A and B are shown apart, each in its own frame.
Chain A
Amino acid sequence: SQKIEQNSEALNIQEGKTATLTCNYTNYSPAYLQWYRQDPGRGPVFLLLIRENEKEKRKERLKVTFDTTLKQSLFHITASQPADSATYLCALDKNNQGGKLIFGQGTELSVKP
């Protein structure tokens, strides 16, 4: 069956450290993968998009990798800050289905000062 899974446990890290979140999928062949941030009571906010032919994408303190062989994406936040505390969602494009996104369940990140 098709599945998309993120770290099920909440991630707690110390301010200044690098947070690494995992997104694994099975039985999909996505053309691209997106990462979103969601704060309590708000809608998701787009962060990064990485395509199947890209290994890595960076934006300020954020870095995303995409390994289509391992069927995995890693999302890194370097020099983390308490303001980075939120739930992070990965979403993959269901290939050739009009851009339909399938979301993971999200990983809650807590950055302690």
Chain B
Amino acid sequence: EAGVAQSPRYKIIEKRQSVAFWCNPISGHATLYWYQQILGQGPKLLIQFQNNGVVDDSQLPKDRFSAERLKGVDSTLKIQPAKLEDSAVYLCASSLGSHNEQFFGPGTRLTVL
């Protein structure tokens, strides 16, 4: 069974630039999550989708972050414009349902200079 795919694996940008991350969840998984993990901390949920609808985006900085999950499969997370404090690993995860174990992708390490 293929796991959660993410790209790119690494990205370096200047502050005020924009960046986009892509995630392909495990086939058949209805729930998709985007997390931000700052060095030395646990993952923090940014947004949770159930199929192509948003379940929770309470911790998404909506003035600069946006996410979509078209057709209930792949998802993209965008940051525009980026700030220095956005430097982190962005993890995508998926699960069969919202109360099941989550399967994580390898993450995208973002460095904002």
Residues of A within 8 A of B (CB): 31-32, 34, 41-46, 49, 89, 91, 93, 97-106
Contacts and interface: CB of A to CB of B under 8 A. Distances in A.
A98 B45 CA distance: 13
A49 B41 CA distance: 21
Assign chain B's interface to a size class.
Answer: 20 to 34
A98 B103 contact: no
B11 to A, nearest CB: 15
Q: Point out which of A42, A43, A101 has the most chain B C-beta atoms below 10 A from its C-beta.
A: A43
A46 B41 contact: no
Interface string B25-47: 00000010000000011111100
Nearest to B43: A103
Nearest to A34: B101
A49 B101 contact: yes
Contacts of B41: 105-106
Interface stretch (B14-22, B62-70, B91-99): B91-99
Contact of B42 (A32, A93, A104): A104
A43 B101 contact: no
A100 B4 contact: no
